[in-house]
Structure 1
């Protein structure tokens, strides 16, 4: 599987250990972590939509692009989290 498919599937399953493993294996650092699907959904946006704070923290620590917007609504990960009313603690 490609990096993008691997990480997106792990995030959909909310498999924290696998996401961490994939990020540790990633040689392209931020470039791969910012890859998006056809709708512009990045790993961080997907984790935000699902409300998974732990995975969001992993991705943010990887220094992903926090301002990247999806292609459907033009929303960032933070906007997605707010829309779905997830309460993220300050970290």
Structure 2
């Protein structure tokens, strides 16, 4: 199954239920996986990503900002999204 790839810069909002993208698409945490594990993550991948277990096909959110300080910004945003998932009561599997 080929995953859908989205840049984290396309995220317009998130809450305890999920993530909303600028296109209007939404990832609903409760629809992603079992035992509250909703995604896999790898901060050391190039680019870093969090891949959600969305039902139709997985959705990979990549942290792909480029330019000055991009690595620092990508890592900060990765950790921020990971924290949002955790605070909503869900978890992600660490592949790094």
Report the TM-score, using the length of structure 1 for normalisation.
0.33
Q: Which has the higher helix share?
A: 1
Q: Return the structure number with greater relative CO, CA threshold 8 A, min gap 6.
A: 2
Report the TM-score, using the length of structure 2 for normalisation.
0.32
Q: Which has the higher strand share?
A: 2
| Greater C-alpha Rg | 2
